[in-house]
Amino acid sequence: MLNPNDLIVDGWDISNLELDAAMKRAQVLDVDLQKQLAPFLKGIKPKPSVYYPDFIALNQKERANNVVNVDSAKEVDTNRKWQDVETIRSDIQNFKKQHNLEQVIVLWTANTERYSDIIDGVNDTSENLLKSIQENHPEVSPSTVFAVASILEGVPYINGSPQNTFVPGVIELAEKNQTFIGGDDFKSGQTKIKSVLAQFLVDAGIRPISIASYNHLGNNDGYNLSSPKQFKSKEISKRGVVDDIIESNQILYNEELGKKIDHCIVIKYLQAVKDSKVAMDEYYSELMLGGHNKISIHNVCEDSLLATPLIIDLVVMTEFLSRVSYKKDNSNEYHNFYSVLTLLSYWLKAPLTKPGYKVINGLNKQRLAIENLLRLLVGLPINNELRFEERLV
Amino acid sequence: MLNPNDLIVDGWDISNLELDAAMKRAQVLDVDLQKQLAPFLKGIKPKPSVYYPDFIALNQKERANNVVNVDSAKEVDTNRKWQDVETIRSDIQNFKKQHNLEQVIVLWTANTERYSDIIDGVNDTSENLLKSIQENHPEVSPSTVFAVASILEGVPYINGSPQNTFVPGVIELAEKNQTFIGGDDFKSGQTKIKSVLAQFLVDAGIRPISIASYNHLGNNDGYNLSSPKQFKSKEISKRGVVDDIIESNQILYNEELGKKIDHCIVIKYLQAVKDSKVAMDEYYSELMLGGHNKISIHNVCEDSLLATPLIIDLVVMTEFLSRVSYKKDNSNEYHNFYSVLTLLSYWLKAPLTKPGYKVINGLNKQRLAIENLLRLLVGLPINNELRFEERLV
Amino acid sequence: MLNPNDLIVDGWDISNLELDAAMKRAQVLDVDLQKQLAPFLKGIKPKPSVYYPDFIALNQKERANNVVNVDSAKEVDTNRKWQDVETIRSDIQNFKKQHNLEQVIVLWTANTERYSDIIDGVNDTSENLLKSIQENHPEVSPSTVFAVASILEGVPYINGSPQNTFVPGVIELAEKNQTFIGGDDFKSGQTKIKSVLAQFLVDAGIRPISIASYNHLGNNDGYNLSSPKQFKSKEISKRGVVDDIIESNQILYNEELGKKIDHCIVIKYLQAVKDSKVAMDEYYSELMLGGHNKISIHNVCEDSLLATPLIIDLVVMTEFLSRVSYKKDNSNEYHNFYSVLTLLSYWLKAPLTKPGYKVINGLNKQRLAIENLLRLLVGLPINNELRFEERLV
Amino acid sequence: MLNPNDLIVDGWDISNLELDAAMKRAQVLDVDLQKQLAPFLKGIKPKPSVYYPDFIALNQKERANNVVNVDSAKEVDTNRKWQDVETIRSDIQNFKKQHNLEQVIVLWTANTERYSDIIDGVNDTSENLLKSIQENHPEVSPSTVFAVASILEGVPYINGSPQNTFVPGVIELAEKNQTFIGGDDFKSGQTKIKSVLAQFLVDAGIRPISIASYNHLGNNDGYNLSSPKQFKSKEISKRGVVDDIIESNQILYNEELGKKIDHCIVIKYLQAVKDSKVAMDEYYSELMLGGHNKISIHNVCEDSLLATPLIIDLVVMTEFLSRVSYKKDNSNEYHNFYSVLTLLSYWLKAPLTKPGYKVINGLNKQRLAIENLLRLLVGLPINNELRFEERLV
């Protein structure tokens, strides 16, 4: 596997702050550590990024001082979005050339956008999508512009935010170009624990009847999510996590007992707590004979410090998976994996799947998939926990 | 599998309370439900049980009004413990005969005993153990008496409490008699969640550096555990759960960073909360770049209502496993499973293993073992989560 | 003081359920207790109440089967609201006569209404208000109809919900009629603790910078509050509680450090938890030298069982205060207390004050006021805690 | 009042670390802040202190490298403790002279000691105590040596730790010398909130039946308290806080319902959390009609940053109170306050009282005492919250 120290990192940002100043603004790292890191970050400025104000919260406007195609931001220019695709493509090419890289991977870790409407004739096929971009259609989001540019450049694209970047036209485009995509939304904290605990309870025959999830955070992510449309994207991403768990146990969730969990999700922006995100979850479950079980979880963490290792993991794993090839027993032809890298779902809250397949949210299943693939590739027997050596005479 | 409705239940108790009165004393069920159940429980009295005061808390003395061999409780009688074994054996035989049963399974759900010392010549071999019982040796516990009686009757014996019932002599005796044993300590609540969460954190590369576990409860289990020696048994059982998790990740737990988690366990008896046990756990973990993650869990549940389904599961599963036989590829001889049923460890806090094998505490591994064994037995492919159908082109 | 056992209780409800069935529907009391109480409640049916659908949540419509003036609910009848006032007045008269009562007290413990707009010429003076009721003005709420009816009958009226029943016209009407009013919103749980803890922190020189308050409940109160306008009334009532605490300490809250606390309030309806309300509060405060203090409170309680004693206290205290009279040193004329009974604010979340006076939210100040008034009335020295007897030589 | 900036600070410590190194070892302040402060602290070394190993935890031994009278630590020297008193007296004199101070105040903020036995003839009277010190009696603690030295020098002495420094002989000595003493144990965190919340609940007619208090911390205070005898001192100090609250309400706590609260206190040393103390409290209370209320509090704070302002407050207040004098109405003679400054109890967990008087633990009462004394001294009416201006017509 790739050694993370061999990665060359660059990026786009609608804010032009140099990285040392951005680190200071973010107030995540200890001040003393900031001072040690600043000399290495000074002078690094992100490339101008794509900014369509309608897609992120209004409150982000004051940050947007580093924008490509700024004149056409007035949106007079009818093919502005296509120009943006070309700018990003050229950025990718230059970055690759400049550092003499073997492989580029693009990962969206920017603001949560609002959902894009899926409209027939607009973003439903790859052809329509490309046409819509050329016609500057208002329903094409910045993240989709990045995804399309990456696909056309043949580089993998990972979406770490909850919005539906991967409209059907994008997925089709990736399939056609045989490039890799993966998403959505980093699974760093509350949702990850929820997928573990809800699965655990249901597996144990304990029946959750309500889950209340409250969050507050004071970083820019939270500031953007304080806007209803962006929150909506996040809520959808967070809500799905228990769906397949409910489906997995039709003894606990049936017509008679009810087929759902009362599930509320709240995110509040409280500036005072900065990056120190607080997540509170309360699971209320039924036991036998009228009993109840209540589990309350209170989780405090520096959100960014949980997310950053996921970014590295996703990049290392994507690079690795992009190099795996296989052939069927009776064939001589080697293939790569299917475009949507569902093996990345261990790190992602709302896993993108191959159209027609069910989402697997259970964290342990996701992990076992990776573990067993790696074992297979190095020739180890897969892990089935049967351990007959200790169970038989 | 056995339908739980076909089970016939009977038992021993050092308290002679009829079951309707015991239900009332326990204050677990809603009063209205108690009133509905009382007619079915009235008149059922537990058989006299084995009571050696040294093994459980002094505060249990007032309950001990239903004791076998009560005269020899004065411990003058030199072979009293052997008489107790015979009483239990005869109880098992009568129960089987009376109800015309195919199979009897004995499960210890009584008080936590203090640990027995393992002494050369006393309980280290099956032969020495039998001799020690005959000589009324003080280090033979009531639960060991029950285990030995069950083994000699050829019936499986499950230990739902934390003490070391299964001294080496008991394990050897079960091996010799080819009967089944399983233990120790029901995994109903806090420890179960801990095994899930600690595994989750370590798997995610988050490094727990301390875990503080506080419990309080007001039922008779808690009353008995308020005595130091009995608490000690419980503490050992609860403490082990993170050991193999630490061992599983030598990147996070190594010479340089430290190989252990600061782990404290507290159980307090607070009569006021009755059976409504409160468990609080706090996980404090290190993130990258000096960050920390703190997860606090507060869990309230009716302890008995969590434990009861485990009892049913353990009995159903033990009965099932006792009927599984296998033969090796190049042999015609069928065998049963090895005496220690490690497949039961999903329900047990401190899994008893085959001598020489490591304990597996990770709940998901334990579950996968059962799932895959059952799939194997019905001819389904084992579950490896590879799901190539959705990952390949 | 009045012995609560001497109270005769009756009431209005838009639902016609008899009290035994209402008790069952509410699922607050233990089933066994319900069965004991049912015979005493059977056959008691609330009087038809005033229902203007615009003021409470749409989801309450299905309950509204016991409504006065039901024909005019179509709101064709132009003086419908005045008829409602007269119906309530006549109910009060009949109740008093029927039971031969000395005193009647009316207390609103019904659903939270939306806020009424304060409109010049409509509800700004007593005269305009009475005219608006006669003209069936849409901005007159049911609770205001009850308040006006009570005032005109000369009986005290207490508002236990958060809406602004007491529009300026009601206060003026009470002043003119020299009757008593008190409000608003029972202070039963989270807010009460908040007033205690926030005051404690600020008094200790610890500076709260954010307070996050999350609630969920599954009773009909919660169901009604799941509607945004009704929630708004509740939010205003809950929010005010820290305002005077902030104002009380201008060293901690000044121009430089900031004059406010980031304060978010969330109420969610989760049917599963029924009357067992969960309130979570998180106080994040600054200490000296860059330190922080975080207090998280998790509170579970049967909401109705906290509120009921407040109702009794409020009634007993109102009856008592209505009998207190005083004269000034140099006068012979005795007066009753001023119409707005601010001494009731100990039990109320958003205390109504005499126009022009500041709200006192600090619970201890509210309590000391009552304690010292009572001491004064029985001739004891007021409680000043100086205790010179132990401090001097 | 004294401006805290005018204070000159010096001290004794059994560890000889210079203050900049001690700050680093303590890991309380942010590293960046440490670097800013270090130049001001460098070179400041505490004076050698009194160390009798029997009184603090064995684990403190490795720190004890800065000890007065080190030769006599072998305890051969029969009047060693008297020499220690003289050393401390001479330290105080030199400190006063060197800085030309008006007033010296000595405050114990060192380790928690074990309790001293109160023995007739040893520490029961001032005379016996002085004699015992001269005879090097083993039951005389270091903190008592400091107290006696301070009293003999005529300077106030405040005890910020829980042990019983103030044996009867010390109190008598202070009375005789008319010097001031105050104690015991800083009320910085959990206990302070407990005194507020327990009082609040009982005042509200809600009846706590159990309180479980769990703490863990990883600083040296916690390390010392991990030793049972020292923990015992702390436990006594923490336990008392609800006693007078129970006594204050004999309707809730009577013969029939029970006169006590099940109250458990646990302190664990978990090195990993350093100075970031975690305190969890759970209040379980009875409501009417069989209901219950459960309040769980989780409090995280830098313990030292909560305690430091208390030290300043105590010193400023003690200095102030030492200057207040009064005379009785019919006398011309002015007196100072009585030796035991009970007005300091607002900051102290286990307030020392005048012999024969009850402890007042309620925080609000303690605060009102200070507030009203100050108002009295500046000629303001005392605060009784009667506010007739808003309550009368």
D113-146 confidence digits (pLDDT tens): 999 999 999 999 999 999 999 999 999 999 999 9
β-strands B106-108, B157-159 pairing: parallel
Bridge partners (DSSP) of residue D298 are C296, D280
Nearest by CB: A35 against D32, D296, D298 = D32
**Long-range contacts at C95-99 (CB < 8 A, ≥ 24 apart):** C95/C8, C95/C10, C99/C8
d(CA A320, CA A391): 36
CA D80 vs. chain centroid, Å, equals 27
Q: Of the candidates B303, B327, B348, which is a domain's last residue?
A: B303
Q: Are residues B298 and B262 in the same domain?
A: yes
Q: How many CA atoms lie within 13 A of C342 on its CB side?
A: 25
Is A277 catalytic? The answer is yes
Among B303, B320, B352, identify where a domain stops. B303
Q: Is D329 strand, coil or helix?
A: coil
Same-domain status, D294 and D345: no
Tokens of C287: 């200490």
Beta carbons of D214 and B212 less than 8 Å apart? yes
How wide is the angle at C-alpha C205 spanned by C-alphas C199 and C206, nearest 5°? 80
Instruction: Tell me the CATH number at D265.
Output: 3.30.360.10
- What is the longest distance spanned by two Cα atoms in chain A? 79
Q: Is D284 helix (H, G, I), strand (E, B) or coil?
A: strand
DSSP D383: -
Same domain, D66 and D140: yes
Per-residue model confidence (pLDDT) at position B76: 54
Q: Smallest Cβ distance to A390: which of B33, B354, B383?
A: B354
Task: Report how far residue C85's alpha carbon sits from residue C145's, in angstroms, rounded to the nearest whole number.
Answer: 6
pLDDT of residue D70: 62
Q: What is the pLDDT of residues D332-368, one digit of tens each?
A: 999 999 999 999 999 998 999 999 998 888 888 899 9
| Residue A216 Cα to chain centre, angstroms | 20
In a shared domain, residues C199 and C280: yes
Q: Whole-angstrom Cα distance, residue A275 to residue A60?
A: 17
Interchain proximity C278–A212, CB inside 8 Å: yes
D22 C-beta neighbours (distance < 10 Å), count: 16
Tell me whether residues D308 and C288 touch, CB distance under 8 A: yes
Interface of B with C in 268-307 (CB under 8 A): 296, 298
Q: What is the pLDDT of residue B256?
A: 86
C298 and C324 share a domain? no
Question: Whose CA is closest to D19, among D4, D7, D6, D29?
Answer: D29
What backbone torsions phi and psi does residue C296 show, to the nearest 5 degrees?
Answer: -115, 130
- Looking at the fold, whether C99 and C180 belong to one and the same domain comes out as yes
Which alpha helices (H) appear in chain D, and where do they start and end?
19-26, 31-41, 80-99, 126-134, 142-153, 168-177, 190-203, 220-225, 228-239, 243-247, 303-321, 363-377, 388-391
Cβ–Cβ contact C62 with B under 8 A: no
Contacts of B298 in chain A (CB under 8 A): 295-298
pLDDT mean over D152-161: 97
| A121 φ/ψ sector (left φ>0, alpha ψ -120 to 50, else beta) | left
pLDDT category, D238, cuts 50, 70, 90?
confident
pLDDT of residue B131: 97
Whether D349 sits among the annotated catalytic residues: the reply is: yes
Closest to B309 (Cβ–Cβ): which among A288, A326, A385?
Answer: A288
pLDDT digit string, tens, across residues C179-207: 999 999 998 877 888 888 888 898 888 99
Residue of A nearest to C266 (CA): A266
Distance CA B382, CA C262 (A): 53
Give burial (CB, 10 Å; 0-12/13-18/19+) of A148.
buried
Q: What residue spans of C68-205 are helical by DSSP H? A: 80-99, 126-134, 142-153, 168-177, 190-203
For chain C, percent of residues with pLDDT exceeding 70: 98
Q: Which of D108, D112, D138, D146 is nearest to D229 (CA)?
A: D112
Same domain, A55 and A140: yes
d(CA C88, CA C151): 11
| Domain end (from C258, C278, C303) | C303
How far apart, in whole angstroms, are the C-alpha atoms of residue C205 and residue C183?
A: 31
Beta-strand pair B292-302/C292-302 = unpaired
Please give the DSSP secondary-structure letter assigned to residue D255: T
Computed over every residue of chain C, the mean pLDDT equals: 92
**Cβ pairs bridging A and C (under 8 Å):** 64
| Binary contact (C271, A210; C-beta < 8 A) | yes
Query: How many separate domains does chain D show?
Result: 2
Q: DSSP letter at C392?
A: B
Q: Looking at this protein, which amino acid is placed at residue B339?
A: S
Helices (H) and strands (E) in chain A, counts: 13, 9
C-alpha to C-alpha distance for A114 and B4, rounded to whole angstroms: 52
3-state helix, strand, coil in chain B (%, to 5): 45, 15, 40
Tell whether A313 and A254 lie within a shared domain: no
**Distance from the Cα of residue C366 to its chain's centroid:** 15
CA of D348 vs chain C CAs: smallest distance (Å) = 13
A242 and A299 inside one domain: yes
Whether the per-residue pLDDT at C330 is higher than 80: the answer is yes
- pLDDT tens, per residue, chain A with 393 residues: 999 999 999 999 999 999 999 999 999 999 999 999 999 999 999 999 999 999 999 999 999 999 997 655 455 566 889 999 999 999 999 999 999 999 999 999 999 999 999 999 999 999 999 999 999 999 999 999 999 999 999 999 999 999 999 999 999 999 999 999 999 999 887 788 888 888 889 888 899 999 999 999 999 989 998 888 888 888 887 788 888 788 878 889 998 888 889 999 999 999 998 888 899 999 999 999 989 999 999 998 888 899 999 999 999 999 999 999 999 889 999 999 999 999 999 999 899 999 999 888 888 889 999 999 999 999 999 999 888 888 888
Task: Calculate the alpha carbon distances from C360 to C56, C320, C384, C385, D393 in Å.
Answer: 29, 22, 19, 21, 19
pLDDT of residue B77: 59
Which residues 177-216 of A have a C-beta within 8 angstroms of B?
A: 192-193, 196-197, 200, 203-206
pLDDT for the residue numbered A66: 95
List per-residue pLDDT tens for chain B, 393 residues long: 999 999 999 999 999 999 999 999 999 999 999 999 999 999 999 999 999 999 999 999 999 999 997 655 455 556 889 999 999 999 999 999 999 999 999 999 999 999 999 999 999 999 999 999 999 999 999 999 999 999 999 999 999 999 999 999 999 999 999 999 999 999 887 788 888 888 889 888 899 999 999 999 999 988 998 888 888 888 887 788 888 788 878 889 998 888 889 999 999 999 998 888 899 999 999 999 989 999 999 998 888 899 999 999 999 999 999 999 999 888 999 999 999 999 999 999 899 999 999 888 888 889 999 999 999 999 999 999 888 888 888
The CATH number for D71's domain is 3.40.50.720
Q: What is the pLDDT of residue B255?
A: 87
The angle, 0 to 180 degrees and rounded to 10, between the axes of the packed helices D363-377 and D190-203 is 100
Average per-residue pLDDT in chain D?
92
Would you call C35 and B32 a contact, using CB atoms and an 8 Å cutoff? Answer: yes
Residue B239: its pLDDT value, please?
Answer: 80
CA atoms of C297 and D201, how far apart (whole Å): 15
Among A238-247, C238-247, C272-281, the range of highest mean pLDDT: C272-281
Q: B266-275: b or e for each residue (b if 16 or more CB lie within 10 Å)? A: bbbbbebbbb
**Are B344 and B265 contained in the same domain?**
no
Same domain, A332 and A195: no
pLDDT > 90: percent of chain C: 71
- Backbone CA torsion sign across D215, D217, D221, D227: positive
Whether the pLDDT of residue D392 is over 90: the answer is: no
pLDDT digits (tens, 9 = 90+) for C85-101: 999 999 999 999 999 99
On whether both B199 and B183 belong to a single domain, the answer is no
CB C222 within 8 A of CB C172: no
- Phi and psi of B327, rounded to 5°? -135, 155
Active-site residue (options: D13, D20, D91, D185): D185
d(CA C259, CA C251): 10
Looking only at Cα atoms, what is the longest distance across chain B? 79
Q: Do residue D216 and residue B264 have CB atoms under 8 angstroms apart?
A: yes
Tell me, what's the pLDDT at C43?
95
Greatest Cα pair distance, chain D, in angstroms, is 79
- In three-state secondary structure terms, B7 is coil
How would you class C43 by CB atoms within 10 Å of its CB: exposed for 0-12, middle for 13-18, buried for 19 or more?
A: exposed
Here the tokens at position C391 are: 């401090």
Backbone torsions φ then ψ of D383, nearest 5 degrees: -90, 110
Domain that holds residue D16: 1-187+304-393
Are D30 and A35 in contact (CB < 8 Å)?
no
Closest CA to D112 of D16, D223, D265, D271: D223
**Helix H or strand E encompassing A152:** helix A142-153
Per-residue confidence (pLDDT) for residue D170, from 0 to 100: 98
- What are the beta bridge partners of residue C283? C211, C295
SS3 state of residue A300: strand
- Give the integer Cα–Cα distance in Å for B84 and B49: 9
| Beta pairing, strands D207-217 & A325-326 | unpaired
List of chain C residues whose C-beta atoms are within 8 Å of the C-beta of residue D204: 192
At residue C295, φ and ψ (nearest 5 deg) are -115, 120
Give the distance from residue A127's alpha carbon to the nearest chain B alpha carbon, in angstroms: 21
Decide if A243 is catalytic.
no
Q: Report chain B residues whose CB lies below 8 A from the CB of C37.
A: none
Model confidence at C240, pLDDT cuts 50, 70, 90, reads confident
Strands B207-217, B262-269: pairing is parallel
Compare CB distances from B32 to C32, C296, C298 and report the shortest one's residue: C32
